[in-house]
Amino acid sequence: MGGHITQGVSIFLALFYMDNSFFAYLQQLELMAFFSGYPMLYAVVFFVAGNRQLKKNTKARLVVALPLSYALVGTLFLGFQLKKLYPDYSLAHIHLSVQQPWLVVWGLLAVLFWVPYFAKKTVWSLLHSFISFFFLLKDFALQSSTTSDGNIIANDMKMYTASLMLNLCAFAVTALLYFLIIYLKKRQHS
């Protein structure tokens, strides 16, 4: 049991204490561009769902759409990774191209939220996205403790804004499709 915990801690630390190369930093920014805005979207949706004026069914459907939109963002991340590797999908090319394999694998795990079992665990999508949000917080802490020109924070804010927009669009598409499917099912049964 103790060996599993030690291995788990070392994997967790490997996610955060990464290589300082430029390409590793780019992969960190990629992960942030896809996933760091999700916690804010999650908070906003739960805030809106807490509105007493909304119908109970609407609230539940908004919350149900969250992990599905996160899965859509994960699918887009998968597509982005495949596009970067194109046309050579060999293991040697993947090994050379992927600087942070744990980060890429962690990002690809978002696709699991298409599976109904994971989609029902809404909070899991939030916990999954905290890894990329942590990079933003880590860079803020590093920036405040050093005297640098602020390019890291500027890059992070650009990626966070892009992520917020991507996640918002994914949520809008997912929620609209979800509501449309429910509407069509009700109409079919009528």
Mean pLDDT by 10 residues, the chain (190 residues): 52 50 88 94 89 74 92 97 91 87 93 96 94 86 75 90 97 94 89
**Taking Cα atoms as reference points, which of 125, 117, 118, 121 lies closest to residue 35?**
125
What integer pLDDT is reported at residue 4 of this predicted model?
A: 55
Token couple for 23? 């390409």
- Could you give the CA distance from residue 32 to residue 17 in angstroms, rounded to a whole number? 16
What integer pLDDT is reported at residue 148 of this predicted model?
A: 66
Helix runs in 86-121, H state only = 91-97, 101-108, 116-119
What integer pLDDT is reported at residue 140 of this predicted model?
A: 83
Residue the block writes with tokens 């990329």 = 132
Phi, psi dihedrals of residue 179, rounded to the nearest 5°: -65, -35
What integer pLDDT is reported at residue 5 of this predicted model?
A: 55
What integer pLDDT is reported at residue 165 of this predicted model?
A: 98
Phi, psi dihedrals of residue 120, rounded to the nearest 5°: -75, -20
**Taking Cα atoms as reference points, which of 29, 41, 106 lies closest to residue 74?**
106
What integer pLDDT is reported at residue 19 of this predicted model?
A: 56
What integer pLDDT is reported at residue 11 of this predicted model?
A: 47
Token couple for 102? 């744990």
